[in-house]
Structure 1
Amino acid sequence: MNVSVESIAPCRKLVRVEVETEKVEQTFEEVIHEYRKRAVLPGFRPGKAPRDIVERRFQQDIREDVRERLLRDCLHHLLKESDLRVLRTENVEVLQFDRGQALQALFTLETEPEFELPEYKGLPVKREIRTVTDEDVERALEMLRQHRVNYVTVDRPAAAGDVVVVNYTATIEGRPVLEVAPEAKSLAESKGFWVRVDGRSFLPGFGEQLAGAKAGERRTVNLLIPPDYPDPKLAGRPASFDVEVLEVKEPVLPALNEEFARSYGAENLEALRAGVRRDLENELKHKLDRQVRVQLLRALLERVHFDLPESAVETETRNAVYDIVLENTRRGVSREMIEQQKESIYEAASRSARERVKLNFIIQRIAEKEGITVSNEEIQRRITVLAAMHQIPPDKLLKDLQERNALIQVYDEIAREKVLDFLQQHARIEEVPPDQMPIGLATARP
């Protein structure tokens, strides 16, 4: 087999292949023999029909099978014997093929990018100096108390921090909301709606205007719908709410005592404090490790440049667009508004997709060079964890992943984590105070 390779574009190769006449004839003989063995023709026992009759009867099928077998062998040879890293076959063109002739064909292939790995050991990164303090623990305990808050109905005017239970109907510039935006049913009207008396609950300015209100009172709340409101028909427009106050409720926090600790499964208050501290320390370690890994990935991206295969970028872009649209839909953004923003969504998805595809190739090459692999046991453990998270049997999840050819994604995720572990172990880490961290990487309090 003669093979010549020509680069016709970044990550695209034109491969010329010639299979010698002898190999073509040998393959014809093999295929004809197979057809004779399984041919069922009138007047002959299975497998006993004369060769010339079988050839005439199945001439076109035999020719097609030989052609496909030779092309498949050519591709297998390219993958196994050449140094090409083939992602997909874009096109196959047969230039010559017949009995007594050599097969000549052109393969247009998309390949992985060609690049030299940058120096990836000893990458300089910064790690924030931060520890869990007693104040952090007390703040976390206060949040636990907030999770167990009890709201008690009171007979007094509403004050800051209270919750007011209301019925309301809304208009936009004097028109019912549903006339302006038929999809905005929850904004148009609600009954038994809980709103906190502050500037953050529901719409900005709504709760504040209920300060001093008592049960049985009616109030008119006037405000501007936020300009970033999901429905563009309402965003930035003045709204008026006719509000009937049903109840005023005061939040009552549980006492921080032994009984409270036991409600969270701790033996006593000190045990609860110790558990909270451990959780905060684990959370902080995760954040600080993420700081380091973000810097490592940035460093890799900056240290090497190469062209990317467009099919990989297109696939990753589609996935990113899907994730962005799904997240916006969960946030209540209307389909109309998503459609209006489709160009900016695509641009953002394309940028992030190119970075992810580039990093995937770099990390894959590092894994190959360092002999970093993923075992079947590691994949099974990850599937068990994922199954527990989604509350489905591991066997069912495994079957689903196999049917969707998605096991490779689990493999890639584990391999990526192992490569990042390796890079972090070999990085030059400088411990610095928070104000010396790269922009956007300093942690909030744990």
Structure 2
Amino acid sequence: MQVTPTLNEGLKRSFTVVVPSADLQARREARLAELATTIKLPGFRPGKVPASLVKQRYGASVNAELLEQAVNDATSKLMQENNLRPAVQPKVDLISAPEGDGDLEFKVDLEVLPEIEVPDLSGMKLTRLTAKVDEEVVNKALADLARRSRKFEDISEDRPATKGDVVTVDFVGKVDGTPFDGGTANDVNVEIGGEGFIPGFAEQIDGMKAGEERVITVTFPKDYQAAELAGKEATFDIKAKALKKPVDPEINDQLAKDVGLESLDQIRSIITEQAEGEYRQLSRLRIKRELLDALSDKTNFEAPESMVDAEFNQIWSRIEQDRQAGRLDEEDANKDEETLRADYRRIAERRVKLGLLLAEVGRKQDIQISREELLGAMQQEAQRYPGQEKAVFDFFAKNPQAVEGLRGPILENKVVDYLIELSDVTEKEVTPEELAEIPAAEV
């Protein structure tokens, strides 16, 4: 194999590789001889098929198979002998691919990972925000539980619906006069002044009486989950059937029994534990953000352009989706295209650099990912698809590269934990509202 470097600029490398004809011919003859011992053709005993016939029947496919194998083997050898660590999959372009005699020649273009000097990361000053679960939080959760457990009593008096009432309705939704899928329902309870329906729906049945019919017009939100209805105007033929009032149950031991628990104290304990868990997650998110901000100032190396491109394309795809759905925040919505792209390009570069630094810390500290941790990540992924858990595990079993994709987030979290342990951490108690505030950050 002959290797000729053609580019060495920054992180970019290019090589021309030539695999001699003699090497290819030896591979070809060995593969054809192997086939001759296994193939079965009418009129020939196993292992006795003439070499000329094997070559005639299988020569073209063997040649294609061996060329691909020769390119892969030569590229792998090139990486090993030159101690190259590709940032992404190298790009291979064939220059000449012989069908018979002749050398195989191809070009390899790649970007290598930068040399990363891990700075002294001990003694970084970080603040861990904490919050206590107060009585107000527990009481609010209890009130929400009571509201979800409420019952409805019929209103016997002949009067129009007003705020706080619940109207039981049948309706038929239409777009351009034609009923649409999912737009027809019977015996639906709609709370006047409540949430959960299309904006303008509940407001327009305010004042209806049982037995009354009405046609209302609403416009679906631009980010409505059914894309075919998003942003469209629709009419609904409404028939009010009954008027009810919601009755919240008392917050006591009976409420606990109604939801399958033993006592009000048990409900309070569960609510407190859940809130504490949420606070711990928020606390970790905040200290991780602070750590990454501190690390960002230490990433004084070049990021591979190909990795930045890939990260930017993922980010920009989400930005485009949000823009089409009208979900861009006001600050981004007011930026021109060039400025918005430049801003998110910087974010992509920052993410790549931080990812490389964290990976290098993990490599040098020999931070490993256990089989149990990978299984836990697969189980979490499977839980996102209720009823399809087996299909998710089957997917991972058949796609090792998908399992490898779970390693990155696990390794990042383990390295973050390691760096937090090295840091000088001060605890600060804040209110739950302050803890929940998401600071301006790029990652």
> Residues of 1 paired with 2:266 and 2:294: CA distance?
42
Question: Quick one: which amino acid aligns to residue 143 of structure 2?
Answer: E
2:439 match: secondary structure: coil
1:178 aligns with 175
Aligned to 1:133: 134
How far off its partner does 1:368 sit? 1.3
Matched residue, 1:143: 144
Contact 2:149 2:249 in 1 (8 A): yes
Q: State the AA in 2 paired with 1:81.
A: E
Give the TM-score of the pair, scaled to structure 2: 0.70
- Secondary structure, counterpart of 2:83 in structure 1: coil
Bigger shift: residues 412-421 or 355-364: 355-364
Secondary structure at the counterpart of residue 379 of structure 1? helix
Aligned partners of 1:121 and 1:423 also within 8 Å: yes
Residues 167 and 83 of structure 1, relative CA distance in 2, 3 Å threshold: same
Where in structure 2 are the equivalents of 1:359-370 lying within 5 Å? Answer: 359-370=354-365
* Greater mean alpha carbon deviation, residues 428-437 or residues 87-96: 428-437
| C-alpha spacing 1:386/1:349, structure 2 compared with 1 (3 Å) | farther
Q: Is residue 422 of structure 1 aligned with residue 423 of structure 2? A: no
**For the structure 1 residues 43 and 134, does the alpha-carbon distance in structure 2 shift closer, same or farther, using more than 3 Å as the test?**
closer
Distance 1:80 1:396 in 2: 38
Report Cα offsets for 1:227-248 as digits up to 9, x if no partner: 75758999598x8877543222
How far the C-alpha of 1:367 sits from its partner, in A, is 1.9
Partner of 1:377: 372
Change (3 A) 1:153 1:43: closer
The corresponding residue for 2:334 is none
Match in the other structure for 1:412: 408
Deviation at 1:125, TM superposition (A): 4.0
Provide the residue aligned with 1:440 in structure 2. 438
Conserved? CA contact 2:164–2:194, under 8 Å: no
Q: Which of 209, 212, 224 is the matching residue for 1:214?
A: 209
Structure 2: runs of 5+ lacking an equivalent: 328-336
Whole-Å Cα distance in 1 between the matches of residues 181 and 60 of structure 2? 65
Deviation at 1:132, TM superposition (A): 0.6
Structure 1 residues 96 and 288 mapped into 2: Cα distance closer, same or farther (>3 Å)? closer
Partner amino acid, structure 1, of 2:306:
E
Contact 2:130 2:427 in 1 (8 A): yes
Query: Match for 1:284 among 279, 283, 290?
Result: 279
* Kept after mapping to 1: 8 A contact 2:127/2:426: yes
Report the counterpart of residue 71 of structure 2 in structure 1. 71
TM-score by length of 1: 0.70
Alpha-carbon separation, structure 2, partners of 1:220 and 1:38: 76
What is the alpha-carbon distance in structure 2 between the residues aligned to residue 282 and residue 215 of structure 1? 46
2-structure distance, mates of 1:134, 1:409 = 42
Alignment of 1:39-438 (within 5 A): 39=36, 70-86=70-86, 87-94=88-95, 105-114=105-114, 116=116, 119=119, 120-156=121-157, 157=159, 158-167=161-170, 178-179=175-176, 192-198=187-193, 200=195, 202-208=197-203, 210-211=205-206, 213-217=208-212, 225=219, 228=222, 230=224, 243-301=238-296, 303-304=298-299, 306-310=302-306, 313-314=309-310, 317=313, 321=317, 357-387=352-382, 390-391=385-386, 397-404=392-399, 405-432=401-428, 433=430
CA contact (8 A) 1:39 1:49 kept: yes
Aligned residues: CA RMSD: 5.1
**Separation in 2, partners of 1:374, 1:283:** 25
Distance 1:402 1:233, change over 3 A: closer
1:78 corresponds to which letter in structure 2? Answer: L
Separation (CA, whole Å) in 2 of partners of 1:44 and 1:205: 81
The Cα offsets for residues 365-418 of structure 1, whole Å up to 9 and x where unpaired, read as: 232122112122322343345445545687654331132331112223322322
Counterpart amino acid of 1:166? V
Residue pair 1:3, 1:15 contacting (<8 A) in 2 also: yes
Structure 1 residues 251 and 399, CA gap change in structure 2 (3 angstroms): same
The separation in 1 between residues aligned to 2:28 and 2:100, in whole angstroms, is 13
CA distance in 2 between partners of 1:348 and 1:191 (Å): 51
CA positional deviation for 1:427: 3.7
- Asked if 1 retains the 8 angstrom alpha-carbon contact of 2:123 and 2:424, the reply is yes
Worse-superposed segment, 301-310 or 362-371: 301-310
3-state SS in 2 of match to 1:406: helix
Deviations 1:322-363 (A, max 9, x none): 8986x999x999xxxxxxxxx99x969976766655554343
Structure 2 vs 1, CA of residues 265 and 297 (structure 1 numbering), >3 Å: closer, same or farther? farther
Tell me the residue number matched to 2:15.
15
Gaps of 5+ in 1: 171-176, 334-342
